[in-house]
Amino acid sequence: MISVSNVSMRYGGKILFEDVTTTFSPGRRYGLTGPNGAGKSTFMKLLSGELEPQKGTVVRPRKIGVLRQDQSAFDERRVIDTVIMGNMPLWKALEEREQLYGQAELTDEDGMRLGELEGIVAEEDGYTAESDAAVLLDGLDIPEPFHNRLMGELQGGQKVRVLLAQALYGHPEALLLDEPTNYLDLESIHWLQNFLTHYDGTLIVISHDRHFLNSVCTHTADIDYQTIITYPGGYDDMVLQKTQIRTRIEAENAQREKKIAQLNEFIARFSAGTRASQVTSRKKEVERLQTAELARSNIQRPFIRFEMKRPSGRHALEFKNVSKGYGDHPVIRDFSASLQRGEKVALMGRNGAGKTTLLKALLANAPGVDDPDTGLDSGVVNWGHEVQVGYFAQDHRAGIRNGTTVEEWLHEWDPQAAKEEIRGLLGQMLFRGEEGVKPTEALSGGEAARLIFCKLMLQKPNFLVFDEPTNHLDLESINALNIALQKYEGTVLLVTHDEDLVDEVATRIWHFDHGRIEDFPGTYEEYSAAATAR
């Protein structure tokens, strides 16, 4: 159990939360939600002990698993050792035991100490440490050949999965996971969901994956209105309850305001007359009914609408026998497909299976796209009549030129656009007031993503290509993107590990598996049903 009593945190004049008192109980799985900047990661650091509250106390269990954000902290350690370090008492005992056994001679005191260490190792399941760590790594798609490598040899996404295994290792009484699904493919996310739903301790997780929160969480702790309110159920349940409560309070306040207005009218009419006792009574009633000012929500919802200047021809894209590899490693082998106008294709598969490689190969000579520096080894790509492509790259931040402002950069993509249109688009994507003159080099990942959406809304292409667009977005922005893509009348190629986005947008699935691509003509739900039936 984790207990929080009268905790407050503020930075300068900004209050994140004030006098928060709440309890996170064993056996419950809490989603910690709130918009970007609301204080989710700060609150998680308070729970873990990494930060001390400015006011109040936090009581936590002895053994807590924490997903660490510093990917380079363990670069000199073996992968398997990094995972075992998730149980630090066990790791220290193993290290000291190895050091003692490495001595040429052991004293009686050393022998007694070895006995104590063997007791710790046994108590902490140390005799199966490596096999237990290997099970976690395999589930998170870190295969056995990687287990004895140094962490510094792994890619960023692989490091995140190892650090996730570290947090899960050793049966912690509480798990604190900040964005655990980042850089995970859908199969790894499904494994994690299954693991967490069987976890019997206290789980607190921050995620911008709505499907993940709905699948895993029994409760949702929402940071808003400068406090934290816990609701039963997943993310969708929380949104519904929060809306209903807010609507009821606003309706009750409206009724009170109406009653107060009637009482004040009576007081004004008869205050100088003979009905003094009734006036006094009504003044007391006004004081009793006085409504408290409702705190404003931190949530900001962007508005995304993708339109087309003109539709493309009926055949939007056709390619035959496309192949692409790196050195002696083939990634895409002889894949052919044809896309009709309006189709929305989700590219799915494990990380490294070739999804981004295929996109870049197809886009090498796409109309309206700068060359993404990847061509074909073989095959032919034909873009349809009047096709204009809008591209959201996985490394989208690199596509925004530094040395200018947000407003100036956006204007470069359509010099004929009026300043009002540019500011209107920026306002839709939450760049308000002085944020329009913010230097582009100062943009966060989420702000850079929203600026790319502004560019696409300004250009109005009829063929959209998205490579992991949700990585830096909050839930409100992801939901806005989901709705915009559902309503978009053009053609879409989409790489994402957000299951709701795939499920609600895609009309066709390309599934990548060890160089083979299955082209399934149907929705994700239909694809999943067909895959289960095999």
Check the CA dihedral 276-281-282-287 and report its sign. Answer: positive
- Cα–Cα distances in Å, from 344 out to 182, 198, 365, 494? 23, 35, 21, 8
Residue 153, Cβ density class (10 Å: 0-12 exposed, 13-18 middle, ≥19 buried): exposed
Residue 247, Cβ density class (10 Å: 0-12 exposed, 13-18 middle, ≥19 buried): exposed
For 154-185, the pLDDT digits (tens) are 887 788 889 989 999 988 999 999 888 887 88
Instruction: Read off the DSSP letter of residue 456.
Output: H
What is the reported pLDDT for 295? 62
Q: For domain 315-533, give the CATH number.
A: 3.40.50.300
Phi and psi at residue 200, in whole multiples of 5°?
A: -105, 5
Residue 198, Cβ density class (10 Å: 0-12 exposed, 13-18 middle, ≥19 buried): exposed
For 268-292, the pLDDT digits (tens) are 877 766 677 787 887 888 777 776 5
What is the reported pLDDT for 293? 58
Architecture of domain 2-238: 3-Layer(aba) Sandwich (3.40)
> What pTM did the predictor assign?
0.78
What number is the average pLDDT over the span 429-438?
Answer: 89
- Cα–Cα distances in Å, from 168 out to 83, 177, 197? 9, 9, 13
Is residue 149's pLDDT more than 90? yes
Is residue 4's pLDDT more than 80? yes
For the chain, give every domain's residue range: 2-238, 315-533
Cβ atoms of 31 and 216 within 8 Å: the answer is yes
CA gap 39, 151 in Å, rounded: 30
With a CB cutoff of 8 Å and minimum separation 6, the contacts of 142 are: 79, 158, 161, 162, 165
State whether residue 220 is helix, strand or coil: strand
User: Could you check whether 2-238 and 315-533 share the same CATH topology?
Assistant: yes
For 384-427, the pLDDT digits (tens) are 999 999 999 988 888 899 999 999 999 999 999 999 999 999 99
